[in-house]
């Protein structure tokens, strides 16, 4: 499975024509303790760079953007129940939603792990 | 961020060495968190937390007319304030608006005031203009201010400053601590038992080390300071209080002393006495927000038609309750606990109920109480 990253600190893990989206470890570290997430409902069309979810830490609310266009096929109910999963396992159990890719070519504009690491180190 | 050396607080390097995340606050880089806001919040409620609040303004008001001069801008009865006693008070404008909130202590031949960091320059200008000739105002820029808060604060501090355990809530005295003479009061901004320590800036790091070397104590940042005071129902100037809010609207009528209500003679008295008699048009209340999503400062209170009738002035997630809580100004008919309140934030509607404050019970050390 290929994993890509955005400049807004989302990750997207691609498996065939579906993909899983979440926020990066760097993002959760910046946000601090996460106390609430609002996830997109199944069937919703999300667009590249468009608001797809909301994450609230003790400090502030932040938007989570979809890295690509697609249709949401599943939201992570476990994360809704326990938002701290986004702190403890952001790139695993703390995933946000799954989508069906509308245009695979959009993945080409995203960063791979090495490039994202360099990007965060420059932040 | 302006990192000009004259705008660094005495413990700047101390915080950075302990891994604090620094943010600009009141014109200074200050620690927002160390290990994380939730952990720091809980630690303070369960053990003891050390807060650096050296950004706050520490003022001395001295002179034969100091009491009278201060009573012209504060609604407190300073005449009955005994030596070493603290009083929460409000610096008032002529229209009854709140210029700042503060602590005033009678200390020998002068009053010692602690005012907010973001407003201290304005307070000094206002006091300079309003205090009579002959009253001397000194801004103690060389003093740092630490707060040790939490149920274990007393046993820790008494190890190094024996006698502090004898202080009752809202009293203070001079003590020797870490090789310096310091002023310690039993007071704070968390709702917990605890102390505030005014000390020479040059001794601040040594005393902070001394206290945080104790296993009960961890350093706590501004993030948890804010969530703690919100749970305690304590207003934050610049958010819940400002020059457009009056003491009665802010539900701080307790700060307007009985004699002063009757006699007047302080800025804003006419409006304040009218609001005491007739009731204010709006009031600060606590809100318990339904669901789990926090509602924050800036969210609006709306009526059944969706028209704005108030605003949220502080809001967040209560670590102890595990639910969102807030403070808001609501219309007078809606102030009773249990009243349904509708809020709008970023286009989304939230339901809330007026809740009594504090949200989490205070645990102050009141003499004569168990």
pLDDT of residue B368: 66
Interface contact flag, B293 A38, Cβ < 8 Å: yes
Tell me, what's the pLDDT at B370?
45
In chain A, how many domains are there? 1
Biggest alpha carbon–alpha carbon distance for chain A: 37
| Inter-CA distances, B151 with A11, A15, B245, Å | 43, 52, 33
The whole-angstrom distance between B354's CA and the closest CA on chain A is 21
Reported for B180-186, long-range contacts at CB under 8 A and 24+ positions apart, including other chains, are B180/B207, B182/B207, B183/B107, B183/B112, B184/B157, B185/B86, B185/B103, B185/B105, B186/B365
Q: What angle do CA B253, B258, B264 make, to 5 degrees?
A: 90
Alpha-helix runs per DSSP H in B114-194? 120-130, 153-160
Neighbours of B361 (CB within 10 A): 9
Average pLDDT of chain A is 96
Give me the residue label for tokens 């993030």: B223
The model carries a pTM of 0.94
Q: How far is A87 from chain B (nearest CA, A)?
A: 11
Residues of B124-161 as b/e, b for ≥16 C-beta within 10 angstroms?
bebbeebbeeebebebbeebbbbbbbbbbbbebbeeeb
CATH number at residue A18: 2.40.50.100
Predicted ipTM of the assembly: 0.87
CA end-to-end span of chain A: 27
pLDDT (tens, 9 = 90+) of chain B, 370 residues, equals: 444 446 899 999 999 999 999 999 999 999 999 999 999 999 999 999 999 999 999 999 999 999 999 999 999 999 999 999 999 999 999 999 999 999 999 999 999 999 999 999 999 999 999 999 999 999 999 999 999 999 999 999 999 999 999 999 999 999 999 989 999 999 999 999 999 999 999 999 999 999 999 999 999 999 999 999 999 999 999 999 999 999 999 999 999 999 999 999 999 999 999 999 999 999 999 999 999 999 999 999 999 999 999 999 999 999 999 999 999 999 999 999 999 999 999 999 999 999 999 999 999 998 765 4
Which domain does A43 fall in, by range?
2-121
pLDDT of A30: 93
User: Residue B98: how many CB atoms within 10 A of its CB?
Assistant: 24
Choose the closest CB to A35 out of B32, B317, B346. Answer: B317
- Smallest CA-to-CA distance from B190 within B217, B156, B215, B224 is with B224
pLDDT-derived band at A81, boundaries 50, 70, 90: very high
Q: Residue A93: which of A8, A28, A17, A47 has the closest Cα?
A: A28
Looking at the partner chain, which of B223, B292, B346 has a beta carbon nearest the beta carbon of A58?
Answer: B223
CA diameter of chain B = 64
């Amino acid at each position: 499975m290929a994993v890509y990253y955005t400049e807004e600190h989302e990750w997207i893990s691609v498996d065939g024509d579906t993909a899983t989206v979440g926020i990066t470890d760097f993002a959760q570290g910046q946000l601090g303790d996460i106390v609430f997430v609002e996830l997109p409902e199944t069937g919703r069309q999300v667009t590249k760079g468009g608001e797809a979810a909301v994450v609230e830490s003790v400090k502030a609310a932040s938007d989570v953007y979809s890295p690509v266009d697609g249709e949401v096929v599943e939201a992570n109910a476990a994360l809704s129940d326990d938002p701290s999963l986004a702190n403890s396992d952001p790139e695993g159990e703390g995933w946000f939603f799954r989508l069906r890719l509308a245009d695979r070519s959009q993945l080409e504009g995203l960063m791979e792990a090495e490039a994202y690491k360099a990007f965060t180190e420059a932040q | 961020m302006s990192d000009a050396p004259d705008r660094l607080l005495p413990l700047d390097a101390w915080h950075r060495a302990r891994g604090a995340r620094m943010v600009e606050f009141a014109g200074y880089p200050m620690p927002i968190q160390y290990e994380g806001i939730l952990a720091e919040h809980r630690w303070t409620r369960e053990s003891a937390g050390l807060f650096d609040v050296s950004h706050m303004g520490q003022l001395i008001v001295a002179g034969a007319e100091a009491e009278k001069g201060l009573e012209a801008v504060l609604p407190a009865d300073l005449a009955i304030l005994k030596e070493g006693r603290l009083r929460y008070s409000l610096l008032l404008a002529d229209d009854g608006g709140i210029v700042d909130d503060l602590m005033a202590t009678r200390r020998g031949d002068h009053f010692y005031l602690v005012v907010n960091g973001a407003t201290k320059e304005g307070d000094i200008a206002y006091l300079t203009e309003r205090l009579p000739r002959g009253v001397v105002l000194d801004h103690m820029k060389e003093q740092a201010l630490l707060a040790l808060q939490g149920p274990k604060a007393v046993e820790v501090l008494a190890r190094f400053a024996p006698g502090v355990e004898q202080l009752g809530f809202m009293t203070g005295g001079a003590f020797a601590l870490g090789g310096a003479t310091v002023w310690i009061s039993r007071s704070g901004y968390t709702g917990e038992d605890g102390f505030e320590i005014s000390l020479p800036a040059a001794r601040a790091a040594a005393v902070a080390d001394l206290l945080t070397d104790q296993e009960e104590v961890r350093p706590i940042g501004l993030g948890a300071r804010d969530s703690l005071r919100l749970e305690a129902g304590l207003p934050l100037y610049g958010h819940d209080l400002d020059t457009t809010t009056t003491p009665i609207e802010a539900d701080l009528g307790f700060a307007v002393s009985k004699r002063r209500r009757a006699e007047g003679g302080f800025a804003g008295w006419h409006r304040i006495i009218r609001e005491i008699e007739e009731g204010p048009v709006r009031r600060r209340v606590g809100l318990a927000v339904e669901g789990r999503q926090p509602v924050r400062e800036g969210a609006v209170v709306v009526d059944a038609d969706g028209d704005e009738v108030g605003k949220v002035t502080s809001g967040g997630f209560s670590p102890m309750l595990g639910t969102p809580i807030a403070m808001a100004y609501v219309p007078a008919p809606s102030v009773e606990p249990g009243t349904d309140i509708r809020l709008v934030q970023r286009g989304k509607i939230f339901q809330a109920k007026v809740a009594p404050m504090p949200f989490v019970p205070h645990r102050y050390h009141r003499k004569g109480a168990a």
